[in-house]
Amino acid sequence: MGEVRDRRLGVTAVMTSFNKKEFVRRNLDAIFAQTVKFDAVVVVDNASTDGTIDMIAADYPDVTLVVMPHSGYGACETFNLGFSTARTELVAILDDDVELPPDWVDRMTARLAAEPVTTAMVSSHVWEPGTPDWYMTHPEVLRERYMATFRGCATLARRDVLEKCGWYDPDFFIYGNERDLSARVLNLGCRILQFPSVVVKHGTPFGMKHGKRSLYYHVRNLWWYLFKHVPWGQVFAFLFGFLWRSVFGRKKAAVTDAVGTIGFFSTVRETPGGWWIVVKATFDAFMGLPKCLRKRAPCRAPDFSLPLG
């Protein structure tokens, strides 16, 4: 990965979008209002039908806009296209419904430059609608530390590390892809830094997104993550703890680096046919076991930890 250089490394904003026109407008306005400018902005749109594509083309001519031929692509595929399009040393991984503070590039690049070159990612602190006070005031949330994953809505990353890891695994489609990529980043001997001093607004509500689609992919992809990256002894211990919590309802105080899984059990209970979806997703996950085993590379890095506690 080379040595830290005195000059500021180039940064490309990489965003994927789908039918969130007004969010995208606010996002792009914040991107172009940075005190330290992005070197390039890439938006990969998943065939939006709400006017997002025409709005970007008309109002933001400096954006490199890639439009997918149809909307059936997953977040992993569209982000990967954006990453591969970038030509700078760093990429900003951005959801379409985030709003960056004006000094995001300045502070994030400065923080990464102060790190050893083995630090591959710097992850922002994220505020979302419905974020509870217990989370915002939790010591681990407010403490700068190395993590087992990153916030996929607003993170600065070294592009060469992402490429060495093979980008996102497209089989994951959506959800859990950040943690899967993180295990491969850690396996390279790299680290992921949580930088809570920089706060980003995210339009998606806090915790696990409700709905059958979200529940299915969270469960299936969790199994695949376990099959690919977790030593078998930890898999069995994790599953025992998971079953214990599902039966006895034991609560955890916080899982600060796996925010997308907070509220998992309430999502199962509140989703019609929730446990049936869990069973179906588990069956489908085991159907993909041979493929996962071919990719298996257990992660034993010091920063590695499991989701859901």
pLDDT higher than 70, residue 248: no
Judged by average pLDDT, the poorest of 100-114, 227-241, 278-292 is 227-241
Average confidence (pLDDT) over 173-197: 96
The DSSP string of 49-78 is SSSHHHHHHHH-TTEEEEE-SSTT--HHHH
Summarised one tens digit per residue, pLDDT across range 251-271 is 554 444 556 567 677 787 888
Residue 6: pLDDT band (50, 70, 90) is very low
Nearest to 35 by CA among 87, 103, 137: 103
Summarised one tens digit per residue, pLDDT across range 108-142 is 999 999 999 999 999 999 999 988 888 888 888 88
Query: What pLDDT, on the 0 to 100 scale, is given for residue 157?
Result: 98
Query: What pLDDT, on the 0 to 100 scale, is given for residue 278?
Result: 92
Residue 242: pLDDT band (50, 70, 90) is low
Query: What pLDDT, on the 0 to 100 scale, is given for residue 131?
Result: 85
- Of 1.10.287.3510, 3.40.50.720, 3.80.10.10, 3.90.550.10, which CATH number belongs to 11-202? 3.90.550.10
**In the chain, what are the domain boundaries?**
11-202, 212-295
pLDDT higher than 70, residue 241: no
Q: Where are the alpha helices (DSSP H) in the chain?
A: 21-32, 52-59, 75-85, 104-113, 133-136, 139-142, 159-165, 177-187, 212-229, 232-248, 264-270, 274-287, 289-295
